[in-house]
A and B are shown apart, each in its own frame.
Chain A
Amino acid sequence: MAARGRHRYLAERRGFLATLLISPAVLFIGLLVGAPLGLAIYLSFTDATAGSLSGKWLGLGNYRAALHDQIFRDALWHTVLFTVISQAVVIVCAGLLAHALVRRFRGRWLLRFLVLLPWAAPIALTAIGFLWFYDPQASIFTWFLVHLHLVDRSNAPNWLGTPHAAMSSIITVQAWRVLPFATVIFLAGISSIPQEVDDAAAIDGATGLKKFWYVSLPLQLPIAIVAILFGIVFTATDMVVPYILTNGGPFNSTQVLTTYAFQTGINAGNIGEGAAVALFMLPLLVVVTIGMLFFARRAEVT
């Protein structure tokens, strides 16, 4: 009797305490993300201009206009391309690199330091730095290519000036910058595989590739999925790299949704349209996020 009473008391107290502990976080996020998000959603249904936070109601007008806008449709496609390719590169490279760095060897500390640099540097500044590395006149990459006799001065790659090259350039920079972050998370995942599993695999005769495929990969999947998800979300919602490197690129061939939203909403003063463009990806991203998180939970091997 008394035990049950005490349990109930604990349970109530639990709920109360939980709410208390969570409320500051909920308050913060609600006020500083939820409310502005709500306002942005509202703005996307209006014709607000020039920084003003209200406008005439347009219903789905902005969204419809966006779908008819060739630049928008291209931007949508570019966003998908940019995100998928850069993150695919990141996953493969991070996986490889993490497996290499998890072993102990001489010089590992130095190599890790070098690998971490792109993540430690502020991206807004390194993007400007890449403007210099890709400079039409003085690109150091071109210099190497020319001096290795791989290309001629006259047909040197136009890093930021032709659609394909420009897209490759921004994908490269984005992958370069996310790679250390993903590697670190993968490293943690690999390290979390308990020793017993390793030993059991060895006993069963699974080594090298077989071990990787049947043992390591499934165990790392939950963390890998999370790393992938973060990479995707950060890339799809971030405008720094395309904005600074190409500003939408040779005739809008590297325009992504975030840069186009900025150009429309801020530079051209069409806040409502810009909001619609920015929020377009939101439903898709929500679905992708929930889907991947579910999959990650399912894939957990206990």
Chain B
Amino acid sequence: MPDTTDQPATEQSGSTGTRISRRELLRKAGAGAVALGVAGSTAPFSFAGPLRYKGRWLKGDLSIIQWVHFVPAYDDWFDNTWVKQWGQANDVQVNVEHINNTLLDTRAAAEVAAQSGHDLFFNLHPMASYEDQVINHASIINEVQRKVGKYGALAKLSTYNTKTKKYFAISDNYVPDPVVWRHDLWNAVGESPATWDHVAKAAPKLKASGHPIGIGQSQELDSNMALIAFLMCFGSFIQDEHNRPTLQSKNTVEAVKFMASLYKSGEDAGIFGWNPASNNNYIYSGTGSMILNAISATRTPEAQHLPFSDNLWIWPIPAGPKGRLGLEHVMGCYSIWKFAKNKENAEKFLADLCIHGKDATVASQLYNFPSFPDAFPFKSIRKLAAEDKNKPNGKYTILTTIAEKYTHNIGYPGTTNAAIDEIFSKYLIPQMFAQVSQGKLSAQDSVRDTMSVVKGIYSKWRKRGKI
């Protein structure tokens, strides 16, 4: 395959675009930030995306990597509208890459090892353990706060290290985590998931009717989220507000026992082998009667015109004996590497993205909620949600209530730190539950074992000075 010949750079206005010599391009762009996406294998040119800036030579560069958003419309807006406009307004050539969210951790490690990569790195959880590899994002936060008001408490607890006083990431959005349930099936057994006691009462009846509930206890994201939130409803917390591990407690044992009996009476054995899509598919197949998931679980049935999509209701997480506390389903966070080549562009991009949180929320069909709440006040989101045409009418308005009152960060009441991150990545909480539900360990033993592992993790990160 012929390689590009070295031709001198020429600027042409009009529709033919610019031709630059490859050597010059590489000199400008550096190994990580490929400005015009010259692919290694095909020649003479190929572009990483649509040719966005025909006839215009842009001075700056910026490279971003983020997940393939569940809502295609968001990616469409991001890539083709937002980035395009921002790039033109700021004279920066922006290159956005999307990869599957499960691969983001691998890429992060690789970019750090290589000491080169994308300027802006997105992940669905705050990368607390990467604190030393990223800049302090305080300046961006201050900038945004000047324009749209305070950084949300949820976001701050997720991206701020109280020990080192450093913002190791910026969250531009989070996703509230409701419970998604089949109103028709629950009606048929005369119940509703208002509290976990109600759920426990309904579960055997639902299972008997062939439609069990589904709270996963597997080594995957949804199970992690659901079970940690479940613990909180029972007054059990992994750590306290000083980031000291408090997992072992009577409340934890009680919660684990409750979930074990809930499983035995009302759930299907499949919940131990789930992947992040499984609980969604449980609903889509018509079998499942309740899951804990973001609104992707309702949007897909709407899109595919499944017969029961009008019967899918959204409620806050059921209340437990110690209250109604939920988690965010995912926390969208951007970090800028210390070795990023275009830090200023990255900072400005992030600031602008957060300031325009409203556009992002609208584009994502209410999936993303802004981490700077005043960028799109709850009242306004509620108004928008009320306009949603799907039945029952106004069902998405509850999202604002959930976001406002019942959404906390992982590690609440403490911060989301490296130890929490590790506990999360090793699926210690689903393991703690599953061992008991499957009868392998007693609740006390399981909690005690998990606590000793947790204590080890905390002391390790404390020694590294991160907690």
Contacts and interface: CB of A to CB of B under 8 A. Distances in A.
Task: State yes or no: do A and B touch (Cβ within 8 Å).
Answer: yes
Interface of A: 47, 49-53, 65, 69-71, 131, 134-138, 158-163, 166, 246-252, 263-271
B286 to A, nearest CB: 9
23 contacts: A47-B464, A49-B464, A50-B109, A50-B130, A50-B133, A52-B113, A65-B456, A70-B449, A134-B273, A135-B281, A136-B278, A137-B287, A158-B269, A158-B270, A158-B272, A158-B273, A161-B218, A250-B272, A251-B217, A268-B129, A269-B109, A269-B127, A269-B421
A136 B110 contact: no
> Which of A52, A166, A251, A266 counts the most B-chain CB atoms under 10 A from its CB?
A251
Nearest to A252: B431
B219 A51 contact: no
B414 interface: no
B274 interface: yes
A202 B319 CA distance: 80
Given A47-B464, A137-B281, A250-B434, A266 B109 contact: yes
Given A50-B130, A51-B112, A247 B425 contact: no
Nearest to B110: A51
Given A50-B132, A246-B219, A249-B219, A268 B421 contact: yes
A136 B273 CA distance: 8
A52 B132 CA distance: 9
Nearest to B130: A50
B355 to A, nearest CB: 29
Interface string B288-299: 000000000000
Interface in B251-286: 268-275, 278, 281-282, 285
Interface of B: 105-106, 108-113, 127, 129-133, 217-220, 268-275, 278, 281-282, 285, 287, 418, 421-422, 425-427, 430-431, 434-435, 438, 440, 449, 453, 456, 464
Contacts of A158: 269-270, 272-273
Contacts, number: 123
A248 B427 contact: yes
B450 to A, nearest CB: 11
DSSP majority for the B interface? Answer: helix
A53 B112 CA distance: 8
B263 to A, nearest CB: 11
Nearest to B112: A51
Contacts of B220: 247
Nearest to B433: A251
A175 B27 CA distance: 49
Nearest to B432: A251
Given A50-B129, A70-B449, A158-B273, A270 B422 contact: yes
B425 A248 contact: no
Contacts of A159: 273
Given A50-B130, A252-B431, A268-B422, A166 B105 contact: no
A266 B431 CA distance: 19
A167 B438 CA distance: 16
Contacts of A270: 129, 422
> Which of B127, B269, B282 counts the most A-chain CB atoms under 10 A from its CB?
B269
Nearest to B131: A50
Contacts of B112: 50-52
B111 A51 contact: yes
Nearest to B271: A161
Given A268-B426, A269-B418, A49 B273 contact: no
A4 to B, nearest CB: 53
B290 to A, nearest CB: 16
B129 A251 contact: no
A161 B425 contact: no
Given A50-B129, A162-B438, A246-B273, A268 B425 contact: yes
A51 B108 contact: yes
Given A136-B278, A249-B219, A268-B422, A160 B133 contact: no
Given A136-B270, A251-B431, A268-B422, 10 more contacts: A51-B113, A51-B133, A53-B113, A135-B278, A136-B274, A161-B270, A161-B274, A162-B273, A250-B273, A251-B440
A251 B434 contact: yes
